[in-house]
Amino acid sequence: MACRRPTPPSPSLAPAPVPPLEDDDLLEEILLRLPPQPSSLLRASLVSKRWRGLVKLRRFLRLFRARHGSLPLLAVFPGEVDMSHPFFTPSLDPPDRVPTARFPMPLAPLAFPLVLDCRHSHALVLNRRVSQLLVWDPVTVDKHPVDLPPAFKGRQVMLHNGSVLCAGAAAAEGRLHGSCNSSPFKVVLLASGRTHERSFSVCVYSSQTGAWGDVISAEFQPAAMEPLYTASELYMYVPSTLVGSSIYWLLRGNGDTIVEFDMDSRTLAVIEMPLDLYDHGISSSFMTMPAQDGGLGLILVNDFYAKLWKRGADCNGVAIWVPGITIQLDKLLSLNAEHNRGLLSLLGFAEDSNAFVVGASRIGIFVVYLNPLRFKKIYERRDLCIFHPFESFCVAGI
């Protein structure tokens, strides 16, 4: 007796598979993997009404930001506001380029605004007219005025610098900050007495409590501060660096000093500069930075080259500065060092993008990315100042 093959089920009885792009969960997973550039979701929203409805959902945007840990470098803000130049200088090319008018200065010129810091999608601006801080999210346009702590007011106190960061930054190193827009934040201020420049004080503000914490102070011996500086010669324009739970400020003057504040242990420390730092010439400019493989780093620009260091330890466990790579900027930027007037200066550092801002008034302003090594020219010509790179997610047209 011959065996009969089983009859396949009628196509009309088998459940029809759902096309991949008709499955909302699968479509969401696909769209979450789009690049973080501003135009990505705008292009997706033009496919259909259904796609546009999905990418406009707050839940989707929150997941999209959280998924991409590395924030795109949208632009740079000058530390000192110059009315002859735009406040917001875009760093991306079309179609990702954010219009200059998108992020206007949040304070009036008569406030004598000074940008102190940009981090985790927030900017910290000092209103020098009324001695008040403003924490500003340029993307969501949220503004939070914060009065200076009482101990940091008055002519006998010098406010050296300030930092802004996501409230969860100190809790877990390696945290992804893509969803920090409108999230709780902290402000950390560094000050000293004008007549007691060896003593530093720090105060931390939390948006969750709406209050400043206790003032933390420490006095350092002259040996840790040599060569001694004069407080009036310090300036607060150099951006701070966040590494793990510590904030680092570079103070410039007759002598240069790195001040560390550990937010976990709530302690202050002073870090000496590399011994060979000044071998590169008195015209050198330098800043702290996160080292590429973790820890504190330092970058110096002199003439037409950049030099990197990393804070490490010797065989006895003593902290030392370890020299790193040297970058020939004239070759990278295709500059003729013999014919260009004016030497390059280091003007800013972007932590998430691992990039630094460098320039000369007659050459232009560049953003140099370290990994992979490449550059982008953002200004043809302008007066030099400290720049604060602004890294955040910005969805164009949605």
Task: Give the mean model confidence (pLDDT) for residues 60-78.
Answer: 85
Supply the pTM of this predicted model.
0.85
State the burial class of residue 142 (Cβ atoms within 10 Å of its Cβ: 0-12, 13-18, 19+): middle
pLDDT tens digits, 25-34: 899 999 999 9
Residues 217 and 208 sit within 8 Å (Cβ to Cβ): no
The phi-psi region of residue 266 (left if phi > 0; otherwise alpha if psi is between -120 and 50; otherwise beta) is: left
Res 11: pLDDT: 56
- 272: tokens are 């000496």
Q: What spatial distance separates the first Cα and last Cα of the chain, rounded to whole Å? A: 70
Domains of the chain and any CATH numbers:
25-68 (no CATH), 69-391 (2.120.10)
- 311: tokens are 């804070």
Residues 125 and 136 sit within 8 Å (Cβ to Cβ): yes
Give the closest residue to 393 by CA, choosing from 101, 134, 142, 177.
Answer: 177
70 pLDDT higher than 60: yes
Q: 232 or 166: whose pLDDT is higher?
A: 166
Residues 336 and 360 sit within 8 Å (Cβ to Cβ): no
pLDDT tens digits, 195-250: 655 689 999 999 999 999 999 999 876 444 444 344 333 345 789 999 999 999 99
Task: Give the mean model confidence (pLDDT) for residues 141-156.
Answer: 91
Instruction: Write out 259-314 in H/E/C secondary structure.
Output: EEEECCCCEEEEECCCCCHHHHCCCCEEEEEECCCCCEEEEEEECCEEEEEEEEEC
